């Protein structure tokens, strides 16, 4: 069911420093910061030849990233995102398989429908599925 790895999201304590590091030390194609108020994050997209990296930084009160950074002050991998063709079919299948789907599909950072799957059901890894 899942297809390509769409992105790996990394929560960072200093967005400017992390962007500069990816640009300068790693020589990556690093975009400009984008505020995503609906998701409580500021995102920097990094384009790699075969996938993307998203640097996540908290935006506003109650950002889901803030709690993660409180537990992981130096940052860390927050989630991985796999592509699916049909988000509703994927969601129904996962529910039938006993996985916890976190909420109904909503529009993600790329303007496409996404769902998240509970990390406790997937080896401690928060999974995002994005319809492409």
Q: How far is the C-alpha of 78 from the C-alpha of 65, rounded, in Å?
A: 8
Residue ranges in contact with Co ion by CB under 5 A: 9, 81, 128
Catalytic residue (choose from 16, 61, 128, 130): 128
Coil vs helix vs strand at 82: strand
Burial 19-38 (b: 16+ CB within 10 A, else e): beebeeeeeeebbeeeeeee
128 is catalytic: yes
Shortest gap between Cβ of 43 and Co ion (angstroms)? Answer: 8
Between 9 and 69, CB nearer to Co ion: 9
24 or 38: CB nearest Co ion: 38
Q: Which residue has the tokens 């300068």?
A: 24
Beta carbon of residue 128, minimum distance to Co ion (angstroms, whole number): 5
Minimum CB–partner distance for residue 116 and Co ion (Å): 9
Q: Which long-range contacts (CB under 8 A, 24 or more apart) does 42-50 make?
A: 42/15, 43/109, 44/15, 44/18, 44/19, 46/22, 50/5
Nearer residue to Co ion within complex by CB, 106 or 120: 106
| Residue that has been written with the tokens 């962007």 in this structure | 19
Q: Which residues are catalytic?
A: 128
């Amino acid at each position: 069911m899942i297809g390509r790895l769409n992105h790996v999201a990394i929560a960072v304590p200093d967005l400017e420093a992390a962007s500069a590091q990816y640009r300068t030390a790693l020589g990556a194609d690093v975009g400009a910061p984008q505020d995503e108020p609906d998701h409580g994050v500021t995102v920097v997209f990094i384009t790699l030849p075969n996938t993307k990296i998203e640097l996540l930084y908290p935006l506003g009160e109650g950002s889901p990233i803030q709690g993660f950074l409180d537990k992981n002050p130096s940052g860390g991998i927050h989630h991985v995102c796999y592509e699916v063709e049909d988000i509703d079919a994927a969601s129904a299948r996962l529910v039938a398989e006993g996985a916890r789907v976190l909420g109904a599909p909503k529009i993600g950072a790329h303007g496409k429908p996404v769902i998240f799957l509970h990390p406790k059901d997937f080896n401690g890894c928060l999974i995002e599925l994005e319809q492409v």
